[in-house]
Chain A
Amino acid sequence: MTAIPLAHVLMLASILFAIGFMGVIVRKNTLFMLMSLEVMLNAVGVAFIGAGSYWQQADGQVMFILILTLAAAEVAVGLALLIRLQHKYQSLDIDKLNSMQG
Chain B
Amino acid sequence: MLRNVHLLLGLFCSCFVLMYAFSSLQMSHNSWFPTKPIVTESQLKLPPYLDARAASRLLMDQGLRGEMMQVKLSATNIQFRIQRPGTVYEIAYDLQSGQTQVKTNRVGLVGMLNRLHHINGLRHDYALLNLWSSALLFTSLTLIALGLTGICLWFKFHKERFIGGVILGLSLIYGLGLILLMRSAS
Task: Please determine whether chains A and B interact with each other in the same assembly.
Answer: no
